[in-house]
Chains A and B, each alone.
Chain A
Amino acid sequence: MKDFNLILAGIFFTLAASFGGLLISSEVQLGSLGRAPAEEGGALFPPRETGLAIQGRQVYLELGCVTCHTQQVRPAGQGNDIAKGYGPRPSVARDYVLQSQLFLGDHRNGPDLANYGARAKSDDEINGHLRSPAAGSTMPAYNFLYVVDKNGITQPTERAQALVAYLKSLRIDYNSPEAKLKQ
């Protein structure tokens, strides 16, 4: 192995093999995936995000939330995500087709948020959690997202409102052709 071109050609082949085998083949399988109804004639899923939620997605990104929170529920045979209550069903590829940038995440310092919108009871609960997380939590308080108005009442800024709208939009509690909810 003394020939530079031979070594380079070999390395190029090894890279091309994994690129073609893994990525091009999955593009063939998943590239044209779009929204679909769970039953014929039903509403299309996943639902479109509202404008405010799209702004909130940007806030979620800017604050680096993905560092500690994943957005993927693994199937029952692969970990205990469903038993922990992270979601009623596993995440499937179709859930993500409308997202410009995915926040799947690879580490959990906090709970998974794929179905957080269905768990959170109200805006106040989410705002309260962002301002003062539960004692013992490793999550910092995001006080800079809130201002105190002239009456001395704490109000969410526009960014906080957008973030809350985004967090509420995170749900997978709908039927998908690939993953049905248990009745």
Chain B
Amino acid sequence: MMPVRLFFASALGWLIISSVLGLIVSLKLQLPSFMAGCEWFTYGRLQVLQQNAFTYGWIANAIFGVNLWIMSALARFEFKDSWLAVCGWLGWNLALTFGLGAILLGHLNGYSLLQMPKEVAPALFISFLFAALWPAVAFVRRPTGHVFVSQWYIIGASFVFPVAFGITQLLVVWYPTSGVLQALIHSWFIQNIQLLWIGASAISAMYYFISKESGRTISAYYLATVGFWTYFLFAGWTAPASLLGAPIPVWIQSVGVITSLMMLVPVIILGINFFGTLSYNRGFAGAWNNTTLRFVLVGMVSFAISSALNIIFSTRSLNAIVRFTDFTVGQQQLVNYGFVSMVLFGAAYYILPRVTGAFWPSAKLVHLHFWSSALGGLGLALHLLICGYPTGQTGLVSYYIPVIIFVLLQLVGHAAFAINSFVMLLASARNPNDNTHA
């Protein structure tokens, strides 16, 4: 499938760009004078660039590809109008390139993940509709009556992004509401994007690959419906928990804390579904020996730890200690890298051979990728969580050296992944007999 290959190719490109930016940013923390002479390369801009390239470049493109592929596979969907998705892919990546270039030149907004100039937003919005609503089409037209839990999460994710993104662009950037309401709407946006678009897509992939690659049905499958609806129902409400102590009404903050605790329900159900499926008959050993599931396993563990941390540290007294510190950066790292990116890597190892009809060129590079990403990603998260905790060592010069090493390690892993994937994608592009399908 052409669009899936294009989404993965651009996701890889953005992954490498964001990793290089990540390295520069961490070097600048250690040596503030590094590249400080030029306004374009100030920390404030490069860090924003890195975050946007990682989220809208790597994660978004990979999610488009994975969601489309999983939905097509589950719904036995034959993709006929793939040029529309290609238009979406082109529009999304052009708009993103333009937006990131504008940030580099100093045209940016102050809210995270809304920093790109407002003119870029409609292009992203429309491109998203072209690129990412295909799973819904596949679902509606499916010839079989079967439904699998992955499909609900994908439909949810594909629907939440345009709605949350559109509303937030209107109310925060285009026609700003007054004062602190902006911050509240922004936190709602971040939570929806993080949990219901990125998180839900990764959860869908976990359901699919754990069941598919282990060859078992999901244990306690009957709970999955409850898990799905509670997850979607509570997620948006947890937004104010990220604003504890901010100048917003206290009752709203309390709602955020309470719903964060309520997230225990879907998280426990997801835990039962995932860990339960692999827990008997040497399931974990089997998963460790399967490339895709090895990545997904790391994602599962990171998901469990990060969900527990997010719930524990949304309580007022603990949040007061860690808010604004590197501890929260460690939490985000655990979610976006340890959980989401590892699951997406695992998905790529399953999907790319099937859409290219080729084998991975080098098993050594696959191993290198796994170990560099797992050690680099989890090491970075752990370092930030432990040393970023305010009683830790923030502020010491030696503090940023491990950060640089872990980021470098991630970059090595991503380079190995990219080389392996591009060799495969280029080989299939040269092969005119494109008889592979989803």
> Does B5 reach chain A (CB closer than 8 Å)?
no
Q: How far is the CB of B338 from chain A (nearest CB, A)?
A: 19
Q: Which of B176-232 contact A (CB under 8 A)?
A: 176-185, 188, 192, 225, 229, 232
B173's closest neighbor in chain A, by CB?
A101
Query: Given the complex, which residues of B lie within 8 Å of A109, measured CB to CB?
Result: 29
**Segment touching B, from A25-33, A118-126, A162-170:** A25-33
A107's closest neighbor in chain B, by CB?
B324
B180's closest neighbor in chain A, by CB?
A93
Query: Given the complex, which residues of A lie within 8 Å of B107, measured CB to CB?
Result: 62
Q: How far is the CB of B282 from chain A (nearest CB, A)?
A: 32
The CA of A24 and the CA of B397, in the complex, are separated in Å by 46
Q: How far is the CB of B115 from chain A (nearest CB, A)?
A: 9
The CA of A72 and the CA of B182, in the complex, are separated in Å by 14
Q: How far is the CB of A26 from chain B (nearest CB, A)?
A: 6
With contacts A26-B249, A79-B321 taken as known, whether A96 is within 8 angstroms of B179 at the C-beta atoms is yes
Determine if B323 and A140 form an interchain contact, defined as CB atoms under 8 angstroms apart: no
Q: How far is the CB of A92 from chain B (nearest CB, A)?
A: 5
> Does B346 reach chain A (CB closer than 8 Å)?
no
Q: Find B325's partner among A26, A105, A108, A137 (CB 8 Å cutoff).
A: A108
Determine if B229 and A10 form an interchain contact, defined as CB atoms under 8 angstroms apart: yes
**A residues contacting the other copy or chain, number (CB 8 A):** 68
> Does A154 reach chain B (CB closer than 8 Å)?
no
Determine if B45 and A63 form an interchain contact, defined as CB atoms under 8 angstroms apart: yes
Query: Given the complex, which residues of B lie within 8 Å of A11, measured CB to CB?
Result: 155-156, 159-160, 232
Determine if A30 and B163 form an interchain contact, defined as CB atoms under 8 angstroms apart: no
Q: Find A102's partner among B110, B167, B239, B319 (CB 8 Å cutoff).
A: B110
Determine if A22 and B184 form an interchain contact, defined as CB atoms under 8 angstroms apart: yes
> Does A19 reach chain B (CB closer than 8 Å)?
yes
Q: How far is the CB of B366 from chain A (nearest CB, A)?
A: 35
> Does B32 reach chain A (CB closer than 8 Å)?
yes
Query: Given the complex, which residues of B lie within 8 Å of A91, measured CB to CB?
Result: 246-247
Q: How far is the CB of A76 from chain B (nearest CB, A)?
A: 10
> Does B36 reach chain A (CB closer than 8 Å)?
yes
Q: How far is the CB of A71 from chain B (nearest CB, A)?
A: 10
Main secondary structure on chain B at its contact with chain A? Answer: helix
User: What does the 1/0 interface line of B234-257 toward A look like (CB < 8 Å)?
Assistant: 011101101011111100100100
Q: How far is the CB of A46 from chain B (nearest CB, A)?
A: 10
Determine if A61 and B110 form an interchain contact, defined as CB atoms under 8 angstroms apart: yes
Determine if B147 and A101 form an interchain contact, defined as CB atoms under 8 angstroms apart: no
With contacts A1-B147, A21-B237, A144-B39 taken as known, whether A8 is within 8 angstroms of B329 at the C-beta atoms is no
> Does B363 reach chain A (CB closer than 8 Å)?
no
Determine if B44 and A64 form an interchain contact, defined as CB atoms under 8 angstroms apart: yes
The CA of A67 and the CA of B28, in the complex, are separated in Å by 13
The CA of A142 and the CA of B246, in the complex, are separated in Å by 29
Could you pull out 25 A-B pairs where Cβ atoms are within 8 angstroms?
Answer: A7-B155, A8-B155, A11-B160, A15-B160, A15-B192, A15-B236, A17-B237, A18-B237, A22-B239, A22-B240, A23-B185, A30-B180, A33-B178, A63-B39, A66-B110, A74-B245, A74-B246, A74-B323, A102-B179, A104-B183, A106-B328, A133-B32, A137-B32, A140-B32, A144-B38
Closest 5 CB pairs of A and B: A64-B44, A18-B236, A74-B245, A78-B245, A140-B36
